[in-house]
Amino acid sequence: MERILIKDTTCEEREAIIRRSLDCGGGCENCSSCWLGGGSPFEMYQDYIDGKKEIAQINAEYRARFIRG
């Protein structure tokens, strides 16, 4: 299993993780992130790349915008 936690990765490794994870092979025109309110998927995960927030925290914050309670 690949290490993805900030404490276990360098900035360069985190950027590669995000690029690999978001590469569906179809190009951005096939991605729904932008029109679903996520904006640029690479900008969305910049805090992870910079070592400020874990991926799980960013994903939870994104999902919380759509949960009604």
Token pair for residue 62?
């994104």
Cα dihedral sign, 44-49-50-56: positive
pLDDT at 52: 98
Confidence (pLDDT) at 33: 56
Sign of CA dihedral 17, 19, 25, 31: positive
> What pLDDT score was predicted for residue 48?
97
For the segment 13-53, what is each residue's pLDDT rounded down to a tens digit? 999 999 888 776 655 555 555 555 556 778 889 999 999 99
Q: Residue 16 and residue 32: Cα distance in Å, rounded?
A: 21
More confident residue, 27 or 7: 7
Local confidence band at 58 (pLDDT 50, 70, 90 cut-offs): very high
